[in-house]
Structure 1
Amino acid sequence: MIHAEDWERAKELCQFLPNDLLAKMCDVIGLIGTPEYCAQRMLQAEADGIDHLYLMTSATYDYPHRELAAFRDVIFPALAGAG
């Protein structure tokens, strides 16, 4: 889901999907986890030829304060240190 005006209804419609499948889908198409895990995934994506990422949180109506802080404090320094 990219954006849901009724988030509870959107989750309800996805209830038929097994949790392990949802977890795999999220891991394949998203950077979901600790900042350290996300930095590791970004380094692997770069090694695989990916050169652009799009930052979007599940709370699409809210400004991503926590996520941006994680990028500033953990992810960007980890990427700079690896390069």
Structure 2
Amino acid sequence: MLQRIYGTAWADKKALNAYLQRPGRSRERDHRKIGKQLDLYHMQEEAPGMVFWHNDGWTIFRELEVFVRSKLKEYQYQEVKVRS
């Protein structure tokens, strides 16, 4: 039986500590936590993965769509819609 072993190496203790703190910082920036705190959307157990947007969250979502579409146009990309 084979077992996979992972290892990391760091130039100094400061770099190692920065790496070890990364998961904690990621949890602080988790979109699910922030969305709940800011009351942007909610999810229900009956519909896993389905987002139910609240007013402010939907406004932000729409503004992001406008921004992304402007960048697509600026860099001459085409938007493609796939079935979701």
Task: Sort the TM-score into its range (normalised by shorter chain).
Answer: under 0.3
Q: TM-score, normalised by structure 1?
A: 0.25
Q: Which has the higher strand share?
A: 2
Higher helix share: 1
Structure ID, larger Rg: 2
* TM value normalised by structure 2: 0.25
